[in-house]
Amino acid sequence: MGRRVRKSPSFDTWLVAMANTTNFKALFEPIDGIYALSHSVGPLPKVSRAALNHEYFDTWSQLGGDAWGHWLTQIDGFCQSVAALIDTKSDAICPQTNLASGFSAFLTALAKLPEHSYKKTILMHEDAFPSMGFVVSGLANSHHLELVLVKGDPNDQDIWLTALETHRVLACLFTHVHSNTSAVSDIGRLCQLAKEHNAFALVDVAQSIGILPVNVPSINADAIFGSCVKWLCGGPGAGFMYVEPTLIEQLQPDTRGWFSHQNPFEFDITHFRFADTAKRFFGGTPSVAPFVTAKASIDLIASIGQKQIYHHNLMLKQRLVTLLPEKYLPQNQHIDKQGGTLCLPVGSNEKILSQLRNAGVKFDERQKVIRLSLHIINTLSEVEAIAECFN
């Protein structure tokens, strides 16, 4: 057995409060085994199932086509819930199917700005989520954009600075929490660096929203792209984008539909005028069910409190690393400086993988790293059961 990591000084105090967690677990649908996959899909809140039945299916069955008024109110409510979560106004929020859809639409609008026509480079870190890189390469022919990846510590300003000074950079996409390492970027500082070099500052918060603070005023980004499927427990299909309000009027995305219109119900095919809010990025007829589901989940997370979820996650992680052999500890042992996921280097240790599966632990593995995400539903006894699988 390897060296143990010292316990957090507040750990014993936290143990006294553990009983309260049971109440939160009861707010979610029961899951067989030990669920540790919130970095992929968060657990299902009971209120989300109820909201889907009541606000979507019941309204549909009772009103048919007349349900649209109610459904659009629900989508507006989704925007309000997201806005409250990240401290901005709902007019700056546009629902999206996923991060890639919003990112693609936003880049097509940026690429057409005449004052930036000589800039074609989009900077990302090499550990950015591949989907976002695919968006850029997909726009290479139509908008002449070029993807450039920086390597090294994502918080090393020098690597970003070198790239900003070497290329004609239109925008930098910064990843708040990296999915395969749980490394946290100092996005406020990085966004400022991009702007100092006349590049747009964009942020991917898919792995942070719901577990780490995402605050629009402190980040100071030009756009933020997020998803509700992970720590927000909102299910797939409910993404969102934030657009800096002072930019909205000058941005005209390639993709448009009747819900991008200032008045979607004008129904004049010869006349189109972009909405004067972020909804100009909305597109055609929206899917309603994902946003009904996600609104309920966001409101639940907000009522529990992101700070409480964060501290619960942190304490569980700290407890787990006290029980693990040293060789399986995260490369960065400053657990409080990481995202919500523990990324443990196990190599190809089939014994550990088998023991985790046999213990009913829901986890995944990427690049010889086990990913475990502990949410408000997880308990100390589950953490101890996970640790036993590493012996």
Model confidence over 141-180: pLDDT tens digits? 999 999 999 999 999 999 999 999 999 999 999 999 999 9
Mean pLDDT of 22-32: 89
CA 59 to each of CA 44, 236, 259, 289, 298: distance values in angstroms, whole numbers, following the listed order = 22, 21, 21, 11, 21
Specify the pLDDT at position 5.
37
Indicate the helix (H) or strand (E) that contains 22: helix 19-25
The pTM for the full model equals: 0.92
Q: How confident is the model at residue 4 (pLDDT cuts 50, 70, 90)?
A: very low
Mean pLDDT of 101-125: 96
Which residue from 31, 373, 386, 33 is spatially nearest to 211, judged by alpha carbons? 373
Specify the pLDDT at position 93.
98
pLDDT in tens, 195-244: 999 999 999 999 999 999 999 999 999 999 999 999 999 999 999 999 99
Q: What is the mean pLDDT of the chain?
A: 92
> Does the pLDDT of residue 349 top 90, yes or no?
no
Q: Is 284 exposed, middle or buried (0-12, 13-18, 19+ CB in 10 A)?
A: exposed
Mean pLDDT of 44-71: 95
Between 23 and 359, residue with greater pLDDT: 359
Q: Is residue 386 a contact partner of residue 372, using CB atoms and an 8 Å limit?
A: yes
Provide the strand spans (E) within the chain.
34-35, 93-96, 121-125, 146-150, 169-175, 200-204, 223-227, 239-243, 341-345, 361-362, 364-366, 369-373
Enumerate the H helices of 33-139 as residue ranges: 46-51, 59-63, 68-86, 99-111, 130-138
Q: Is residue 136 a contact partner of residue 122, using CB atoms and an 8 Å limit?
A: yes
Distance of CA 246 to the CA centre of its chain: 24
3-state SS class at 204: strand
Specify the pLDDT at position 132.
97
